[in-house]
Chains A and B, each alone.
Chain A
Amino acid sequence: MGDNLLSLILCTPLIGVLVLLFIPGTMKNAIRWWANISAVAGFLVSLPLIMNFDKSLDGYQFVERINWIPALGVQYLIGVDGISVLMVMLTTFMGMLAIFSSWDSINDKVKEYYAMFLLQQVGMIGVFISLDFMLFYVFWELVLVPMYFIIGVWGGPRKLYAAIKFFLYTLAGGVLMLLGIITLYLQHIAQTGVATFEITQLMNTQMPMWMEQLVFWSFFLGFAIKVPMFPFHTWLPDAHTEAPTAGSVILAAVLLKMGTYGFIRFSLPLLPNASADRTIVNVLVVLSLIGIIYGALVSLMQQDWKKLVAYSSVSHLGFCTLGIFALNEQGIAGSVIQQINHGISTGMLFLIVGVIYERRHTREIKEYGGLAHVMPNYAVVFAFAMLSSAGLPLLNGFIGEFTILQAAFQANMAWGAFAVTGVIFGAAYLLWLYQRTMLGEVTNEKNKGLKDLNWKEWVVFVPLMAWAIAIGVYPKPYFDILEKPVAAIVERVNGPKAPVNAAVIELKKTEAR
């Protein structure tokens, strides 16, 4: 098992799908049981990965290599470093919880639903472990299809609009990214005569600055749409709002992270000069800052509970991209941790909307109020999620937020100052949402008899709460496992030839005077 651990992790959900196909569609509970067993198995087989991962080593571990399309130099090449280990764990864990949370809420086309969900797990895991760019691209696009169906089939009233918007947006980004990949590939052939999509090989490709920048922008479109960064974010509120609860959870927790992961895994190491280019950095940072503040302000004004959480994602992901393009160690490490945090916090917030939607079938905030009287446990869990999302110290959100803000500040004080305002608004929209839904008297008759959390809902929330506290109190293991890969990326980008940290720029400015 040791040698093929990653393939096993990748295939477990796939085996789940294959077996699922042989269960008759009428045996709904059998399907549910099997899907959950597959998801739990998917998580269990990923545990040896983190337990046996040696954080003191450079480079990739658990590498597997098979020639796939030799003519084009495409390989089945997978492996992990500290960053991908965390993303894989996030995927298997959140996937397990999301699948479990669907038990009562999905009653229509159950078999297809779980098949799509498990297939999506395969795609997402593949994205995070691919070390071959073409293999990555295949998984990247593979993820698109199940999510399209999850939104389009099991979604809310405007599901088709949302699904198509999601599909076209991300497909457009993907195709443009392909342009960049191929340019890189051809340039590598032109230089070395070797046809390969292997990332570590492509890192040696020399490119003129204009070409590197061009490739950067093509990657940027693919990744920025996925994240999504402002102004490419408008697919997200619709997709999130219309998707079924578990779909929203996995979309927020894992799928969006493919974009930020792309920046860290591909843009920075493959295109270090373009990534350190001051114009490019400035554009990316400014878009991140706009995303942080804009997302929070627009969140503030939403009347749809789920849409509010969706817009808050735009703000949170702005922090993640800001951390990446601060181009220093705590920025990138903080960004990865914040990606996990966002998965936990926003995942919880979507689950919370899901709980109430199950009971009342409406997401209008003004339908609610005073729920803390009828559902006290629910109110406590919601308060917890809110505080985790708002970055209360000793909970997860604070760790990422603090390191990212510090990193941005270190790179440029003004960036830090602008980004911190996002923290103020973050508190405002969440507290206001909480007040409108949970506090006050129960004014709506329909809310009077609502049942508090049941055991199945607790099963989903408790692990997330425990994880949030664990990261908030003792984040050291995360920083430790990220230390080597992040340092390598920072060195590659900021290395001896193209330093861009603020101090050096300042120094140059003074010299120029």
Chain B
Amino acid sequence: MHQLWLIPAFPLIGFLINGIAGRRMSKTAVNVAAIGSVLLSFLWVLKVLAGLGSLEDAYIERYFTWIQSGIVDVSFDFAVDRLSAVMLLVVTGIGLLIHIYATGYMSHEGGYYRFFAYMNLFMFFMLTLVLAANFLVLFVGWEGVGLCSYLLIGFYFHKKSAGDAGKKAFVVNRIGDFGFSLAMFLILVTFGSLDFARVFEKVGPMAVEHQAGVITLICLLLLVGATGKSAQLPLYVWLPDAMEGPTPVSALIHAATMVTAGVYMVARSAPLFNHAPIALEVVAIVGLLTAVMAATIGLTQYDIKKVFAYSTVSQLGYMFLGLGVGAYDAGIFHVMTHAFFKALLFLGAGSVIHALAGEQDLRMMGGLRKKIPVTFLTLFCAAIAIAGVPPFSGFMSKDAILLAAHHHHPWMYWVGVVTAGMTAFYVFRAIFMCFFGTYRGTAHPHESPLSMTGPLAVLALLSLGGGYLDVPHYLAPMFGGEHAPHETSLVVISVLAGAAGILLALLFYVIKPGLADALSRLAGKLYTLIYNKYFVDELYDAVIVHPTRDGSRALLWKGFDLGIIDGVVNGAGSLARTIGGGLRHMQSGYIRRYAAWVVVGAIVLLAAAAGMGGAR
């Protein structure tokens, strides 16, 4: 036994300590519990993986029967294979860095212990999700991370916008869970089990569904769940709002780990998706559309965190594209590199915000590279990584996805390349607006403490060199399938697209500032449309939220419940009240009268029944 359960148990203990006693503990003690638990978890992951060696087969630990009734038989089991090994390292490693960073970032905030309790709880659920050996335990983690996301988005709960954003995230994710739940029911009915090993074993010999069938339906329902958690069309709307949470939360939950759970879940279900090419195609198209749509919005935003939020949505779209074209290993590779550079972008943004005493508007920044040089340098590393500059990590993983996309459908490659150009543009737009030119704000910028810059530096190294961790090669035996041939010309084109994006940003925001404004005026209505995020939130409000609310109130409650049903009842009730009034005058005789009622009723009925019996 390798005691896999210890991996999530450490952060759970951290949560319990800080959750129950944190209010009375010193900050140092809170830090020790919070960081120590995640550190132990990270070390235990290393120990387990070292002990397990090459992990050619999944290693499973069975604990206890959880739900057993009828055809449902689900156990609490954990498993590790190469896919979960990658995820475990990313989650505990990045999680550890972000916990350390947060001790600096949150040092002046109220509710310090509460913050770390939630963060530890999140780690517990995220690790449960990754370690799960069946769909239902995965769902436990899935719902749990959603809860922590809700709690942490709404961390500044005195702000109404934070409460709104948390609620939106939870409800939108529940819509996704609708699909996930139905998928589980269908899997259980079809395969008689929710165990990954058993389901995949049974699906193996089944025919590939070139026409939609039950496996296709299962996969599409799983996809609905994944679009909720991983912020894909049409359920991405909660993620940009989620930036209401403290920045370390945005980095950990809404960039590096939780939002990739959908990608992980689809990759985990690869044997199912491989039998449902239609569903796989839908995954690719959803991913591609999301990538383009979110990237265009990212071009126009001024809130530094919103830019990176839309960037996350867009990059998640890339991952889905990778999965959809069958390059699961490339998709997971991008999960990892994205965790490095996007966590860094957010933490760097947090360092900027910290330096500017809470300012998030890019228009109020500028010229900061001399004032906060470490932040600048590290953010720059993240930017060249996400922009696809070779040989850094983003280039490696994005390239793997784009090549696979070209192999699948060339047009997908081309759309992906355009998106890559936009990605490079919006990231460097943010970098240039933030660090170049002259300072436009009024705060007194100061560099962040070592607890923050330290993790930034580590993440910068990972962003630059992380691409050399050859994840696709490590994962390939799990997923099999053919590998897209390496075509140098395609690589060059995508690199050029990124370079073009960077140069355009340089032109617009450093060389000729003002050009961007002129262009946006020129684009007029299109710009307004994109700047307002295509009015999708407004559309959902008008089509779904308001009708539900008003309909429930006017039609169901006031109309049907109080109007019709109670109208009938009160008709009878006014009669009753006359009787009741009479009864009130003779309280003592009440029970007797009531007994009499019963007796009289019974006699009448007996007579009726006897008559009925006699008639036969």
Contacts and interface: CB of A to CB of B under 8 A. Distances in A.
B572 A175 contact: no
Interface string A328-343: 1111011000000000
Contacts of B373: none
A403 B160 contact: no
A424 B171 contact: yes
B64 A476 contact: yes
B140 A234 contact: no
Given A432-B167, A440-B157, A403 B182 contact: no
A27 to B, nearest CB: 24
Nearest to A137: B598
A394 B132 CA distance: 14
A298 B561 contact: yes
A276 interface: no
A410 B185 contact: yes
Contacts of A387: 147
B154 A439 contact: yes
Nearest to B143: A393
B71 A392 contact: no
A132 to B, nearest CB: 16
Contact of A234 (B68, B71, B561, B606): B561
B204 interface: no
Given A178-B602, A297-B556, A392 B66 contact: no
Chain A interface mostly: helix
A168 B576 CA distance: 8
Interface stretch (A38-46, A62-70, A355-363, A413-421): A413-421
Nearest to A379: B157
B235 to A, nearest CB: 12
A28 interface: no
Interface string B575-616: 011001000000000010010011001100110011001000
Given A333-B70, A431-B170, A440 B147 contact: no
B610 A186 contact: yes
Contacts of A203: none
Given A164-B577, A407-B70, A479-B68, A435 B601 contact: no
B144 interface: yes
A182 B556 CA distance: 37
Contacts of A175: 597-598, 601
Given A168-B573, A301-B552, A479-B68, A392 B598 contact: no
Contacts of A179: 605, 609
B65 interface: yes
B189 A186 contact: no
B513 to A, nearest CB: 40
B557 A298 contact: yes
A168 to B, nearest CB: 5
Given A329-B69, A479-B68, A393 B557 contact: no
Which of B65, B67, B140 neighbours the largest number of chain A CB atoms within 10 Å of its CB?
B67
B525 interface: no
A426 to B, nearest CB: 8
Contacts of B158: 370, 373, 439-441
Interface residues of B, number: 66
B171 A141 contact: no
Contacts of B163: 435, 439-440
Nearest to B601: A175
Nearest to B221: A417
A453 interface: no
Nearest to A424: B174
A331 B157 CA distance: 39
B606 A182 contact: yes
A266 interface: no
Interface in A4-30: none
Contact of B548 (A186, A231, A297, A334): A297
Nearest to A427: B174
Given A168-B573, A440-B160, A479 B69 contact: yes
Interface string A136-168: 000001000100000000000000110011001
A294 interface: yes
Contacts of B580: 160, 164
Closest 7 CB pairs of A and B: A330-B70, A329-B70, A409-B185, A297-B552, A330-B69, A393-B140, A301-B553
Given A175-B601, A440-B159, 8 more contacts: A168-B573, A175-B597, A234-B561, A297-B551, A387-B147, A423-B181, A432-B167, A440-B163
8 contacts: A168-B572, A175-B597, A182-B609, A231-B565, A427-B170, A440-B163, A475-B66, A482-B69
Interface of A: 141, 145, 160-161, 164-165, 168-169, 171, 175, 178-179, 182-183, 186, 190, 231, 234-235, 294, 297-298, 300-302, 328-331, 333-334, 370, 372-373, 387, 392-394, 398-399, 402-403, 405-407, 409-410, 413, 416-417, 420-421, 423-424, 427-428, 431-432, 435, 438-441, 474-476, 479, 482-483, 486
